[in-house]
Structure 1
Amino acid sequence: MPENIDLLVLAGAVLTPSALAGAPAEAGFVAVHDGQIVGVGTRDAADSWRARAQRVIDLGDATLTAGIVDAHIHPVAGIGMTRGVDLSTAETLDEAQRALAAEARDAGEWVFGWGLNPNVFGAVAPSARLFDLLPPDRLAFVQLFDAHSAIASAAALERAGITGAETFDDSSSIAVDADGTPTGYLLEHSATGRVTRIVPSLTFDERREALVAIFRGMAETGVTIGQMLDSSDPDAFDLFDAIEAEGELPIRLRVSPMAVPGSAESDWARLADIQGRHGRRWEVRGIKLMIDGTIDNGTAWLREPDTLGESTASLWLSPPEYVAAVEYFHARGIPTTTHAIGDRGIEFVAATLNGLERTGVPHRMEHIETLPDDVLELIVRAGVSVSMQPTHCTHFTRADHTDNWSRRLGDERADRAWRTRDLHEKGVVVALGSDWPVAPYDARATLAAAMLRRPAGRADVTPVLPDQALDAPVALDAHTRGWWRSVGESGGTIGEGMPAYLTAFSANPLSADPDAFATAEVLLTVVGGDVEVDRSVVVQR
């Protein structure tokens, strides 16, 4: 027991590992010193710590959990991807068109939007019909919800010099009509980048302010750590440094830059060289890769084509190059995590990871959207973890398979959607996240979606494959300890010697109705021993 401690937190329920295992959640305390938990006990035993605590936070009847971790975020890329009007709630094409027309009235030269669900187009492909209420010479660009595709107006395509004849080093593409004229639909990053590189840039200060707001928003929903799975923006590290020159990042950030499809060993060497770069609350550790795109765009890698004859290939035009990339990083002790959505893509990644020498380097797979039984068993044999996003299932698909994702797959493959429970019960480590800005980063809604298999607060919506719902203790463990396990580190639990990352809610996620929990107040976050969000009764000593 240290002579003095930095922080003493008291709560009506402290969710220790025993509480997650089914024991009653008792009122108690957590003592923190030098970034670690140094004491956990009942409320009656807190008196011996109180006098030695520099700061005491009494949460009353609130519930204290291990710190929530979002295993998959894109905060810096999200600055540009969330410009303009939020279209994520638009349910029809007319709603989206009217929202853009309203945005255009006060916009500058460009009209921006983001978060659009392709379901608004019904059974036809997204196109520049989206801009029918805008003048034909208006520059406009809208990111679709999946962050892998966008729609550009005819004027924007012309300014970018896009003709429809473009080819790329990966499977990105420009959609064209029967006459070869671009429709405005841009698939994957190389294609969307042809337009994003010509749009007006925000200033560095504007980007810094936007990033602080993003991190602050995440913290206020309970997030204490996020894993950023890209570093495509060249000013990312400068932004982190600028924020830390004036204060602290509101969350801890682990940055895993991406080895893009088509990259070569010289590119991988540069990514290896920046491993370990860090600030006070951010560090570069690990590599992100992608084996395929998305089912909604027809760019996933499926065993059999989708119902439109698409999703037949890897984003790596030569998949063995992906294998070489994974082997390169593995040999250097660098963890990887791979975006794998289609069944063939998941299978290829799992087989690649299963073929690696077991040296203790942790590897992970992202998304796992449609999963056959034999590929699930391959993931088990590979001994890798998975990172999954419950709100992708609940927000973008429908139980009756009338959504774009399900229509493309057909009933059999759509009935293998987001098999979180099956993976957990097979012993696979599951970490939860949002993939923001693809889906909202609110950790409470993510937990609720994992338990309900429908959006929180929408009892009118039929759950998608409810047998894949996670029980509350499993969901909370996946949103806390699951990430730590997936990166091969100890943490994510309330116990002596553990890193001091904590989140407090006004409701108990183990016993509250999930719909009600999604609106519970976040009272506290502790990041590496430091209080970040505090809406409690505080006594300073």
Structure 2
Amino acid sequence: MTSADLILMADRIHTLAPGPQPTAIAVTGATVTALGDRADARDWRGPRTEIVDLGSATITPGLVDGHAHPVMGLSMTRGTDLSGVRTREELTKALRAAAVPPGGWLQGFGLDPNAFEGAPITHAPLVEALGPDVPVFLVMFDAHSALVSPRALEIAGITGPREFASGASVVCDPQGRPTGHLLEWEAAMVVHEMLPADAPGDRRARLRDLMARMAASGLTAANAMDFGLDSLELFRALEDDGELPLRWRCAPFVMPGDGLDRVVEQQRLSGRRWRVDGAKFMIDGTIDGGTAWLDEPDSHGESTACLWPDPAEYAAAATCLAGHGIPLVTHAIGDAGIRFVLDTVAGLPRPRVPHRIEHLETMPTELVARFAAVDVTASMQPTHCTHYTRADHTDNWSRRLGKQRADRAFRARDLRERGARLVLGSDWPIAPFDPRGIIAAARLRRPAGSPDVEPILPGQALTARMALEGYTTQAAAAAGRAGGGRIVPGCPADLSVFGLDPLTAGADEFAESPVPLTVVAGTITHRA
């Protein structure tokens, strides 16, 4: 065999393929070319071979985040991080402590509706903290709504209700006055467009830093669930500077009223480590915001409608794009939305890459069983469950749904046991991207490192192997690479290395595991 460019050795290598467990891997170019033990490595080396003995570490197939927003996330994470705010008093203190440039905007992100302690979400705390004259734009934690100040409403010319092509809305009080709560991004963008723009160089630097941190957590690839704004310019600019530290598979948004020709044309776009391959729809919004699509209203009388004012238009757009061979990705959180998407996709030709449904927060058993039957990928984010809901149902999400529907939450184990293809991911910036914490949450049904927190529906916990497969073999199958996500000769040399074994270490311990090395296409993209 040709001399290897890179040889990795470790006490444990989980190939996730049948056969003996090797302790050495040969990589030539971007491909795994041989497996064996440490003694075999002598036959693979040449004068330019780099040899890395990782000792007691564990090598796995490269981890793939099933759902992230790298470029939109840059716009959604500006200003003060409010993700740690738990009460209205804490919100007021955080706003007063934030730096506001003279005459400028105060921006923030990650605000949990539970901080309002059951009270309506309005701009009252913003006025209490800063007065009425400071323009404020806060992205709520789910990124499907925003909270803005009276001055921000004034700057954007919002004085009452508005009509939108989607199910977005400006929340108003009984007198028709805006409360500052803007539901869904079509409404939020009216104010967002008034914000000062980031310098292009700053955005490139932030995206480069994000990717480096993702690689340092063990990620080798991710699915970007958008490809708008300046995505094309950013990806091209970063590749002009060198190789991306991870691969990206991108799906542009399709919203009500959008033309479809743009999405078809975008499928031709690609770089060395990124490509456009899919179309991202939303059939509903969020349960926390009252914009999900449920069979029955929530406790506020909300979440009763599709995000598309005419659901038939979604079905028509999905059918058109599927006819071009484009794999569909649809955000569907409520039971009615999930059912409608399954019904729609069931009537479409089977594509080269399976269609997907994202989030799947509450659904009855009859829908769980349909994923395998229709061959639709289920995509879930375990930390949405463990970070934002509670086992005693005292959180906003659970109170809105009521016990019966909250007890159908995030049915990951049921999906796997009924034969569904289940991929896991973060939905960054909605939740942290670190796969170690997400794998732990999938196993524990509570946040990693919080043993005092009661697990949420522990019967839905995944095994350690299932959780790892959600980032490897299942993720590969979801991208149309049957047999991928394994370490075998001929496969891409995308490899993740952990100080602890994800299959045998305790979940809390694995969440803190060192990451000595990450390899993408045969190149070391992170070295501790």
TM category (shorter chain) comes to over 0.9
Question: What's the CA shift for 1:269?
Answer: 1.4
| Contact map agreement 1:15 1:66 (CA 8 A) in 2 | yes
Question: What is the alpha-carbon distance in structure 2 between the residues aligned to residue 27 and residue 484 of structure 1?
Answer: 22
The 1:77/1:161 distance shift into structure 2, 3 A limit, reads same
Question: What is the alpha-carbon distance in structure 2 between the residues aligned to residue 359 and residue 203 of structure 1?
Answer: 40
Does 2:218 align with 1:222? yes
Question: What is the alpha-carbon distance in structure 1 between the residues aligned to residue 54 and residue 103 of structure 2?
Answer: 47
The match for 1:539 is none
Does 2:390 align with 1:401? no
The 1:281/1:107 distance shift into structure 2, 3 A limit, reads farther
Does 2:408 align with 1:416? yes
The match for 1:62 is 57
Does 2:326 align with 1:334? yes
Amino acid at match of 1:519: E
Question: What is the alpha-carbon distance in structure 2 between the residues aligned to residue 100 and residue 247 of structure 1?
Answer: 39
Question: What's the CA shift for 1:442?
Answer: 0.8
Which of residues 469, 477, 487 is equivalent to 2:461?
469
The match for 1:77 is 72
Question: What's the CA shift for 1:276?
Answer: 2.6
The match for 1:99 is 94
Which of residues 181, 188, 210 is equivalent to 2:177?
181
Question: What is the alpha-carbon distance in structure 2 between the residues aligned to residue 42 and residue 76 of structure 1?
Answer: 42
Secondary structure in 2 matching 1:351 = helix
Does 2:499 align with 1:506? yes
Per-residue deviation, residues 190-243 of structure 1 (Å, max 9, x unmatched) = 00001110000011111111111111111111111011111231x211111111
The match for 1:43 is 38
| Contact map agreement 1:67 1:480 (CA 8 A) in 2 | yes
Amino acid at match of 1:183: T
| Contact map agreement 2:469 2:475 (CA 8 A) in 1 | no
The match for 1:363 is 355
Does 2:160 align with 1:167? no
Question: What is the alpha-carbon distance in structure 1 between the residues aligned to residue 510 and residue 15 of structure 2?
Answer: 19
Secondary structure in 2 matching 1:150 = strand
Question: What is the alpha-carbon distance in structure 1 between the residues aligned to residue 33 and residue 319 of structure 2?
Answer: 39
Identity of aligned residues (%): 48
Question: What is the alpha-carbon distance in structure 2 between the residues aligned to residue 276 and residue 522 of structure 1?
Answer: 35
Secondary structure in 1 matching 2:238 = helix
The 1:42/1:130 distance shift into structure 2, 3 A limit, reads farther
TM-score normalised by L of structure 2: 0.97
The match for 1:149 is 145
Per-residue deviation, residues 339-364 of structure 1 (Å, max 9, x unmatched) = 00000000000111111133544201
The match for 1:533 is 526
Question: What is the alpha-carbon distance in structure 1 between the residues aligned to residue 48 and residue 286 of structure 2?
Answer: 51
Question: What's the CA shift for 1:166?
Answer: 1.1
| Contact map agreement 2:327 2:351 (CA 8 A) in 1 | no
The match for 2:207 is 211
Secondary structure in 1 matching 2:252 = coil
Question: What's the CA shift for 1:106?
Answer: 6.2
Amino acid at match of 1:427: G
Which of residues 225, 232, 237 is equivalent to 1:242?
237
Question: What is the alpha-carbon distance in structure 2 between the residues aligned to residue 31 and residue 107 of structure 1?
Answer: 58
The match for 2:109 is 114
Question: What is the alpha-carbon distance in structure 2 between the residues aligned to residue 142 and residue 359 of structure 1?
Answer: 40
Secondary structure in 2 matching 1:338 = strand
Per-residue deviation, residues 313-339 of structure 1 (Å, max 9, x unmatched) = 100111011111111111111111100
TM-score normalised by L of structure 1: 0.95
Question: What's the CA shift for 1:27?
Answer: 5.8
| Contact map agreement 2:3 2:45 (CA 8 A) in 1 | no
Per-residue deviation, residues 481-510 of structure 1 (Å, max 9, x unmatched) = 211111211421111111111100111111
Question: What is the alpha-carbon distance in structure 1 between the residues aligned to residue 238 and residue 522 of structure 2?
Answer: 19
State the superposition RMSD in angstroms: 1.5
The 1:255/1:361 distance shift into structure 2, 3 A limit, reads closer
Does 2:8 align with 1:9? yes
Secondary structure in 2 matching 1:315 = coil
Question: What is the alpha-carbon distance in structure 2 between the residues aligned to residue 207 and residue 469 of structure 1?
Answer: 38
Does 2:288 align with 1:289? no
| Contact map agreement 1:32 1:38 (CA 8 A) in 2 | yes
Secondary structure in 1 matching 2:146 = strand
| Contact map agreement 1:28 1:44 (CA 8 A) in 2 | no
The 1:359/1:449 distance shift into structure 2, 3 A limit, reads closer
Question: What is the alpha-carbon distance in structure 1 between the residues aligned to residue 178 and residue 362 of structure 2?
Answer: 30
**Unaligned segments of structure 2, at least 5 residues:** none
Question: What is the alpha-carbon distance in structure 2 between the residues aligned to residue 441 and residue 349 of structure 1?
Answer: 27
| Contact map agreement 1:366 1:388 (CA 8 A) in 2 | yes
In terms of mean alpha carbon deviation, does 44-53 or 88-97 score higher?
44-53
Question: What's the CA shift for 1:377?
Answer: 2.1
The match for 1:454 is 446
Secondary structure in 1 matching 2:71 = helix
Question: What is the alpha-carbon distance in structure 2 between the residues aligned to residue 61 and residue 421 of structure 1?
Answer: 31
Which of residues 260, 268, 285 is equivalent to 2:260?
268
| Contact map agreement 2:12 2:56 (CA 8 A) in 1 | yes
Which of residues 247, 256, 268 is equivalent to 1:252?
247
Secondary structure in 2 matching 1:330 = helix
| Contact map agreement 2:4 2:28 (CA 8 A) in 1 | yes
The 1:473/1:144 distance shift into structure 2, 3 A limit, reads same
The 1:53/1:471 distance shift into structure 2, 3 A limit, reads farther
In terms of mean alpha carbon deviation, does 397-406 or 99-108 score higher?
99-108
Which of residues 265, 286, 291 is equivalent to 1:299?
291
**Unaligned segments of structure 1, at least 5 residues:** 536-541
Does 2:187 align with 1:195? no
Question: What's the CA shift for 1:53?
Answer: 5.7
Does 2:131 align with 1:135? yes
| Contact map agreement 1:128 1:185 (CA 8 A) in 2 | yes
Question: What's the CA shift for 1:105?
Answer: 5.4
Secondary structure in 2 matching 1:447 = helix
Per-residue deviation, residues 18-40 of structure 1 (Å, max 9, x unmatched) = 5xx8x98x560111122111111
Question: What is the alpha-carbon distance in structure 2 between the residues aligned to residue 334 and residue 155 of structure 1?
Answer: 43
| Contact map agreement 2:222 2:248 (CA 8 A) in 1 | yes
Question: What is the alpha-carbon distance in structure 2 between the residues aligned to residue 360 and residue 105 of structure 1?
Answer: 50
Question: What's the CA shift for 1:107?
Answer: 7.6
| Contact map agreement 2:354 2:375 (CA 8 A) in 1 | no
Amino acid at match of 1:213: D
Amino acid at match of 2:397: W
Question: What is the alpha-carbon distance in structure 2 between the residues aligned to residue 191 and residue 316 of structure 1?
Answer: 14
Does 2:225 align with 1:232? no
Secondary structure in 2 matching 1:522 = coil
Question: What is the alpha-carbon distance in structure 2 between the residues aligned to residue 465 and residue 129 of structure 1?
Answer: 35
Question: What is the alpha-carbon distance in structure 2 between the residues aligned to residue 17 and residue 211 of structure 1?
Answer: 32
| Contact map agreement 2:369 2:415 (CA 8 A) in 1 | no
